[in-house]
Structure 1
Amino acid sequence: MLIGKSGASVVRVQREDGLEWIEKTGSSAEIDLETAVLEWCAGGLPVPKVLGKDGGLLVMAALPGVNLTETSMERAAQIIAEALHLVHGMPIERCPFMASWALRLSQGELRVRAGLVDESDFDEANLGRSPTDILAELQSLPALPDLMCFTHGDACLPNFLTQDGQLTGIVDLARAGVTHPTQDWALALRSIRDNFGPDGERLLRKHLPDHSADEELLRRFLLLDELF
């Protein structure tokens, strides 16, 4: 069983005959949103097929492969870069899922006011800071560059699957939506560094697009993530 920052839990269920599927539980609002995202992405991205939904329960087909924390550093960098280029290439003209800076910041502010931010989970660079301090810094930042695309929203290594050197799955899309692509690259760089150290980050940086190579942009999205 896996439990994410949102509090949702994910379990793989296997029957005696070997049939497998995935069950995810969370708030009804979270499950409704992720179901809609998965159905919108179907055919364009290797996402799980929705088998059923009932309130706060989402049932999905199991995908083949292991997540990128269970493969080599080189393979992880290659696969997550490939996955992000695929995600960011999705057409957004009719995408109903928004994750703009202003929207995410307002959601973060609501979480701060409700006391939902876990300070113990902050990155090392932010330990000792308060959520209100981080929120104030985020609110003081200038507008983002005018570049938007569909994003995963939580582009960490466990959310991408591989088998035989190929990308086989993209999962946990509850935070997906249209925003600046650095949202994904920032979290991917942090995740590969956490799992494989500085060498992993250096490998992934070789795939970093120019529009997301700005260190202040990368830091901005990592700082925003502290509120979620």
Structure 2
Amino acid sequence: MAGQLPVSRVLFYGEEASNEYLLATEVDGVNAAVPSHLSNLPSVLGSLGAGLKRIHRVPIDNCPFDQRLDRKLAEARRRVDQNLVDEDHFDAERIGKTAVELFGLLLSQKPHQEELVFAHGDFCLPNVLIANDEVSGFIDWGRAGIADKYQDLALAIRSITSKFGKEFVPFFLTGYGLAEVDEERVFYYQLLDEFF
């Protein structure tokens, strides 16, 4: 991502016994979830959408990180089988459901196609930094890789709705350049996120 996106620069990586160490530069700005953005929220959210589009334009030809749906479903199944899914932290509309129930829903509603892009993987407000009402950087790349663009769109929509209200989502979508949203895929990728 270096040279293509505003991200931290790695200064040092090392391993010792069972520990790994990473030292990186700071990314300027404050996260997009802070209330100080309320005074210019439409502009900030438009910038957020444009920033996501910029991520999605990174070429995937030589990307070594596979986050496609079949791989994510296999990992979700493993997490269900090993009781690693935190059912107490499901989104409000899924509280009271079990991971097994939701996994069955994931399988039965799996989209037939993916629009593959380089995806951030956890594109929510705290992972985007803003300076002067513009995106100044992106952090938390642990789930990045080749994935459907709705992996990012769905989590951004959920994050914006939760923090600022659903009425602000169109500013983000306009910044991204998306006139029409596939609500089924938004629902699906928000559901998938319950497992991670």
**Fold equivalence (TM over 0.5):** yes
Instruction: Answer yes or no: is 1:61 the counterpart of 2:25.
Output: yes
Measured after TM superposition, the shift of residue 209 of structure 1 is 5.0
Q: Distance in 2 between matches of 1:68 and 1:108?
A: 28
Q: Percent sequence identity over matched residues?
A: 33
Instruction: Give the residue type in structure 2 aligned to 1:192.
Output: I
Give the structure-2-normalised TM-score: 0.89
Unaligned stretches of 5+ residues in structure 1 = 1-40
**Is the CA contact (8 Å cut-off) linking 1:88 and 1:181 kept in structure 2?**
yes
Equivalent residue in structure 2 for 1:84, among 23, 33, 52:
52
- Figure out how many residues of one structure are paired with residues of the other and give that number: 188
Partner of 1:165: 133
Q: CA 1:127–1:226 in structure 2 vs 1: closer, same or farther (change >3 Å)?
A: same
C-alpha distance after superposition, 1:37-96 (max 9, x if no partner): xxxx11111110111123333211011111101223224312220111000000111111
Instruction: Answer yes or no: is 1:104 the counterpart of 2:72.
Output: yes
**Is the CA contact (8 Å cut-off) linking 1:185 and 1:208 kept in structure 2?**
no
Summarize the alignment of residues 15-26 of structure 1 with structure 2, pairs less than 5 Å apart.
none
Q: Equivalent residue of 2:3, what SS?
A: coil
Partner of 1:19: none
Measured after TM superposition, the shift of residue 166 of structure 1 is 2.3
Q: Distance in 1 between matches of 2:179 and 2:70?
A: 19
Equivalent residue in structure 2 for 1:122, among 80, 86, 90:
90
Q: Equivalent residue of 1:56, what SS?
A: strand
Instruction: Give the residue type in structure 2 aligned to 1:43.
Output: G
Q: Using CA pairs below 8 Å that are at least 6 residues apart, which structure has the higher relative contact order?
A: 2
Q: CA 1:199–1:141 in structure 2 vs 1: closer, same or farther (change >3 Å)?
A: closer
Q: Distance in 2 between matches of 1:133 and 1:212?
A: 30
Partner of 1:50: 10
Give the structure-1-normalised TM-score: 0.77
Q: Distance in 1 between matches of 2:67 and 2:177?
A: 20
Q: CA 1:127–1:107 in structure 2 vs 1: closer, same or farther (change >3 Å)?
A: same
Unaligned stretches of 5+ residues in structure 2 = none
